[in-house]
């Protein structure tokens, strides 16, 4: 059940007799009058409707009562209470369900007073398909729509690619797509270098290939010892039968298997499926290092830096991180920590519910090992967390000095909190994109990057028009959000890749929108386009250059180069997407599924175009009506 308590956020009344809206403790006390004692989640809302804080409770009324006693609250929570104008609650059956809902809402709403994990990346998995006589091994991201076995997650694309390569060496499984597999007439290079058994040209039978797939599944499930014994027996059998070439091939597979089974602190033999999570704090900041161990192998590690206030202690940050981290992924059966949680049993219960929802189990064990190999693995993760945090703090300290120097260079009131850098990319006006890159005290803020697909008709090479469209869309939207009472981040400094012409065009846009407190600076290269001889342009100031080895020059170059990289990457992605379009996209009623069915059956759009009506009607997944539609499109006079 969801309920809202307090005034509904919206425009304030113009009536002089209207009482001011309730805020702070008054709102909480009124909410307590109807607050249930059941478990649930509460949200404290600001005047604009944004969530200030999301919390869970075993008893909503008892938990929320504590917020009415301001004198007992820390300064952070006092500020939160004073900004609260309304509350929303959602009741749940158990406290564990409340914990899961709280994590989901925090990750989605990103409340200002919560510990927030900013992790919007999907994790890659390894996939073994099960919808083909010769299963394919491949990297996979996103929804698991294809029938197959999935193993992971992996910390990075590099980690999963390394595993795919190792699996090819040991088990000789194909990695090519089904369309490539179907059209092969001779073995590819992977077969020549002994990384594929070439099922595409029937160099191996379905039964023998299936045996390789079964061995691969056993290895990925942590049963590598049995696989190695089976391979050893096969090698001896081949040698006894005087099949020395086959025996040598099996020997090479055993060697490859041995090389990927090294057991040490990085690949712990005593762990099958587990995540090793260690937190480290310095100067009020926290780094959390996660190692993914699956089937006794290390699938890589990743460092996270959740946002929180300086007063949060390590166990509290760790508990909030774990709940949010597993919001959209299945937890493993074992989670090893370097610090015990205050509500460790509750977190384990909630993760068990989450694991059951993914069909991966019903019980999750959370432990803090004190000795042995598991303790060594946790200590290794803790060392990585400490070193990653020390590197980040060192970079932040250097960043702060550069921001101060930038403020001095451009006569800003203080170090800029937000710098926006704009660039665009196109080829003679086609696939035109503009981009916005954002930097601040913590470095590049990639979650704030934005892409702008240029919508207006352009004269080829008209960079001024592209910049005008991008800035108009960005700042007109910011003004609209501000008028609606929404929280909007404004830049302290805007950098544009270009010279005086780009600066003039950009300044005209801001003047037209009535924006006067945003500083614009254009960066143009020197006459020989040499890096280090850039000119800086400001409205009302003569252009100037910085000394070649000035740290601020390097800093501004890095900002400009990041925007250029992002613009090029965005343009290439858009151009690649345009290249894969075909004439089938022009046929009404042909969606992605039918397009895929036609291309898989005929191999190309040209094959579909040349096909007869009977061939089209025989395509799996294509009805006779759609076949006639496709045929009529390519043969309008028939």
Omega before residue 153 within 30° of 0, cis: yes
Report the pLDDT value the prediction gives residue 183, as an integer from 0 to 100. Answer: 86
pLDDT in tens, 522-537: 998 765 555 557 899 9
What CATH number does residue 280 fall under? Answer: 3.30.420
* Residue 383 in tokens: 């060392």
Residues 152 and 173 in one domain: yes
Q: Is 60 exceeded by the pLDDT of residue 7?
A: no
Residues 538 and 623 in one domain: no
Percentage above 70 pLDDT, the chain = 88
Specify whether the CB–CB gap between 197 and 212 falls below 8 A: yes
Residue 390, helix vs strand vs coil:
helix
Pairing of strands 51-57, 40-45: antiparallel
pLDDT in tens, 535-557: 999 998 999 988 877 888 889 98
Nearest to 149 by CA among 130, 173, 163: 130
Count of residues in the chain: 638
CA–CA gap between residue 364 and residue 350 (Å, rounded) = 9
Mean pLDDT in residue range 265-269? 55
Least confident of 75-79, 320-324, 416-420: 75-79
Pairing of strands 297-304, 443-444: unpaired
Mean pLDDT in residue range 314-331? 91
Q: Is the dihedral of CA 216, 217, 219, 223 positive or negative?
A: negative
Residue indicated by tokens 């403020």: 407
* Residue 74 in tokens: 């820390």
Report the pLDDT value the prediction gives residue 67, as an integer from 0 to 100. Answer: 92
Residue 34, helix vs strand vs coil:
coil
Residues 198 and 278 in one domain: no
Q: Is 50 exceeded by the pLDDT of residue 339?
A: yes
Report the pLDDT value the prediction gives residue 94, as an integer from 0 to 100. Answer: 92
CA–CA gap between residue 154 and residue 261 (Å, rounded) = 17
Residue indicated by tokens 């916005």: 436
CA–CA gap between residue 108 and residue 326 (Å, rounded) = 13
Pairing of strands 334-337, 274-282: parallel
What CATH number does residue 536 fall under? Answer: 3.30.420.340
Least confident of 15-19, 77-81, 276-280, 426-430: 15-19
User: In this structure, is residue 407 part of a structural domain?
Assistant: no
User: In this structure, is residue 399 part of a structural domain?
Assistant: no
Q: Which residue has the higher pLDDT, 585 or 230?
A: 230
Q: Which residues contact 345 (CB under 8 A, 6 or more apart)?
A: none
Report the pLDDT value the prediction gives residue 44, as an integer from 0 to 100. Answer: 93
Report the pLDDT value the prediction gives residue 20, as an integer from 0 to 100. Answer: 56
CA–CA gap between residue 125 and residue 122 (Å, rounded) = 10
Residues 590 and 569 in one domain: no
User: In this structure, is residue 269 part of a structural domain?
Assistant: no
Domain of residue 299 covers 274-390
Residue 152, helix vs strand vs coil:
coil
pTM: 0.67
User: In this structure, is residue 180 part of a structural domain?
Assistant: yes
What CATH number does residue 29 fall under? Answer: 3.40.1440.10
Round to the nearest angstrom and report the end-to-end CA distance of the chain: 61
Pairing of strands 450-453, 274-282: unpaired
- What's the distance, CA 258 to chain centroid? 33
Residues 363 and 477 in one domain: no
User: In this structure, is residue 398 part of a structural domain?
Assistant: no
CA–CA gap between residue 507 and residue 516 (Å, rounded) = 10
Report the pLDDT value the prediction gives residue 428, as an integer from 0 to 100. Answer: 53
pLDDT in tens, 98-111: 999 999 999 888 89
Report the pLDDT value the prediction gives residue 331, as an integer from 0 to 100. Answer: 92
CA–CA gap between residue 105 and residue 113 (Å, rounded) = 13
Report the pLDDT value the prediction gives residue 528, as an integer from 0 to 100. Answer: 53
User: In this structure, is residue 498 part of a structural domain?
Assistant: yes
Q: In the chain, what's the furthest Cα-to-Cα distance?
A: 102
R_g of the chain computed on alpha carbons: 30
Within 13 A of 518's CA, how many CA atoms are on the CB side? 25
CA–CA gap between residue 417 and residue 414 (Å, rounded) = 9
Q: Is 80 exceeded by the pLDDT of residue 232?
A: no
Report the pLDDT value the prediction gives residue 582, as an integer from 0 to 100. Answer: 60
What CATH number does residue 611 fall under? Answer: 1.10.150.20
pLDDT in tens, 195-224: 899 999 989 999 989 988 988 888 887 776
Report the pLDDT value the prediction gives residue 21, as an integer from 0 to 100. Answer: 61
- What's the distance, CA 514 to chain centroid? 36
Residues 504 and 616 in one domain: no
Task: Give, in order, the Cα–Cα distances in Å from 346 to each of 352, 357, 368, 478, 615.
Answer: 10, 17, 15, 42, 60
CA–CA gap between residue 316 and residue 513 (Å, rounded) = 45
User: In this structure, is residue 625 part of a structural domain?
Assistant: yes
Q: Is 50 exceeded by the pLDDT of residue 268?
A: yes
Residues 156 and 255 in one domain: yes
Which pLDDT band, with edges at 50, 70 and 90, does 13 fall under? very low
Residues 136 and 96 in one domain: no
Report the pLDDT value the prediction gives residue 264, as an integer from 0 to 100. Answer: 42
Task: Give, in order, the Cα–Cα distances in Å from 529 to each of 297, 526, 532, 534.
Answer: 49, 5, 9, 8
Residues 295 and 220 in one domain: no
pLDDT in tens, 608-635: 888 888 888 888 878 888 888 888 888 7
Nearest to 32 by CA among 7, 5, 10: 5
User: In this structure, is residue 466 part of a structural domain?
Assistant: yes
pLDDT in tens, 167-202: 888 889 999 988 889 888 888 889 888 889 999 998
Report the pLDDT value the prediction gives residue 631, as an integer from 0 to 100. Answer: 84
Residues 543 and 594 in one domain: no
* Structure letter (DSSP) for residue 414: S
Q: Is 50 exceeded by the pLDDT of residue 61?
A: yes
Residues 446 and 568 in one domain: yes
Number of domains in the chain: 5
pLDDT in tens, 109-119: 889 899 998 77
Report the pLDDT value the prediction gives residue 465, as an integer from 0 to 100. Answer: 80
Among the candidates 224, 259, 294, a domain finishes at: 259
| Averaged pLDDT score across all residues of the chain | 83
CA–CA gap between residue 295 and residue 255 (Å, rounded) = 19
Specify whether the CB–CB gap between 137 and 173 falls below 8 A: yes
Among the candidates 558, 578, 598, a domain finishes at: 578
Residues 105 and 233 in one domain: no
Which pLDDT band, with edges at 50, 70 and 90, does 394 fall under? confident
pLDDT in tens, 413-467: 999 999 999 988 765 556 678 899 999 988 888 889 998 888 776 665 567 888 8
Q: Is 60 exceeded by the pLDDT of residue 516?
A: yes
Among the candidates 109, 141, 164, a domain finishes at: 109
What are residue 536's DSSP bridge partners? 523, 544
Q: Is 90 exceeded by the pLDDT of residue 590?
A: no
CA–CA gap between residue 48 and residue 26 (Å, rounded) = 18
CA–CA gap between residue 240 and residue 246 (Å, rounded) = 11
CA–CA gap between residue 388 and residue 376 (Å, rounded) = 18
What are residue 428's DSSP bridge partners? none
Q: Is 80 exceeded by the pLDDT of residue 4?
A: no
């Amino acid at each position: 059940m969801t309920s809202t308590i307090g005034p509904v956020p919206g425009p304030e009344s113009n009536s002089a007799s209207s009482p001011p809206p309730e805020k702070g403790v008054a709102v909480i006390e009124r909410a307590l009058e109807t607050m249930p004692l059941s478990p649930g989640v509460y949200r404290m809302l600001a005047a604009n409707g944004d969530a200030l804080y999301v919390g869970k409770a075993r008893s909503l009324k008892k938990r929320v009562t504590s917020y009415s006693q301001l004198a007992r609250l820390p300064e952070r929570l006092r500020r939160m209470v004073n900004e609260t104008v309304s509350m929303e609650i959602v009741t749940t059956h158990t406290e564990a369900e409340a914990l899961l809902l709280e994590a989901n809402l925090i990750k989605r709403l990103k409340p200002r007073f919560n510990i927030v994990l900013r992790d919007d990346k999907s994790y890659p998995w390894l996939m073994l398909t099960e919808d083909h006589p010769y299963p394919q091994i491949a990297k996979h991201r996103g929804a698991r729509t294809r029938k197959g076995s999935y193993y992971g997650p992996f910390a990075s694309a590099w980690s999963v690619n390394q595993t795919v390569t190792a699996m090819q060496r040991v088990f000789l499984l194909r990695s090519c797509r089904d369309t490539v597999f179907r059209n092969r007439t001779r073995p590819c290079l992977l077969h020549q270098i002994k990384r594929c058994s070439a099922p595409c040209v029937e160099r191996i039978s379905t039964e023998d290939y299936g045996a390789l797939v079964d061995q691969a599944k056993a290895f990925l499930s942590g049963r590598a010892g049995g696989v190695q014994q089976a391979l050893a027996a096969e090698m001896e059998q081949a040698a006894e039968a005087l099949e020395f070439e086959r025996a040598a091939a099996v020997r090479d597979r055993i060697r490859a298997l041995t090389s990927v089974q090294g057991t040490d602190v990085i690949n712990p033999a005593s762990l099958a499926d587990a995540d090793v999570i260690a937190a480290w704090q310095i100067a009020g900041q926290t780094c959390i290092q996660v190692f993914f161990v699956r089937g006794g192998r290390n699938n890589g590690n990743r460092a996270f830096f959740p946002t929180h206030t300086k007063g949060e202690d390590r166990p509290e940050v760790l508990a909030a991180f774990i709940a949010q981290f597993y919001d959209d992924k299945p937890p493993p059966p074992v989670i090893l920590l370097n610090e015990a949680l205050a509500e460790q049993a509750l977190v384990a219960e909630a993760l068990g519910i989450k694991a059951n929802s993914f069909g991966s189990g019903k019980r999750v064990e959370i432990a803090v090992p004190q000795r042995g190999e598991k303790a060594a693995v946790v200590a290794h993760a803790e060392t990585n967390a400490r070193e990653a945090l020390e590197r980040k703090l060192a970079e932040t300290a250097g960043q702060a000095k550069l921001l101060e120097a930038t403020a001095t260079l451009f006569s800003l009131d203080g170090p800029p909190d937000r710098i926006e850098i704009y660039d665009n990319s196109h080829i003679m006006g086609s696939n035109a994109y503009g981009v916005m890159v954002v930097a601040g005290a913590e470095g590049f803020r990639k979650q704030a990057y934005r892409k702008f697909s240029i919508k207006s008709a352009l004269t080829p090479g008209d960079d001024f028009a592209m910049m005008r469209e991008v800035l108009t869309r960005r700042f007109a939207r910011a003004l609209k959000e501000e008028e609606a009472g929404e929280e909007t981040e404004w830049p302290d400094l805007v950098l544009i890749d270009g010279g005086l012409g780009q600066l003039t065009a950009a300044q005209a846009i801001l003047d037209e929108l009535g924006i006067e407190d945003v500083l614009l600076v254009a960066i143009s290269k020197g006459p020989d386009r040499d890096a280090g001889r850039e000119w800086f342009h400001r409205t009302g100031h003569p252009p100037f250059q910085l000394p070649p080895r000035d740290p601020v020059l390097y800093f501004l170059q890095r900002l400009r180069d990041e925007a250029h990289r992002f613009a090029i990457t965005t343009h290439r992605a858009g151009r690649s997407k345009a290249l894969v379009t075909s004439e089938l996209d022009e046929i009404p009623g042909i969606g992605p599924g039918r397009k895929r069915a036609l291309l898989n059956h005929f191999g190309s759009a040209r094959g579909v175009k040349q096909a007869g009506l009977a061939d089209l009607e025989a395509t799996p997944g294509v009805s006779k009506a759609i076949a006639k539609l496709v045929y009529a499109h390519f043969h309008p006079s028939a």
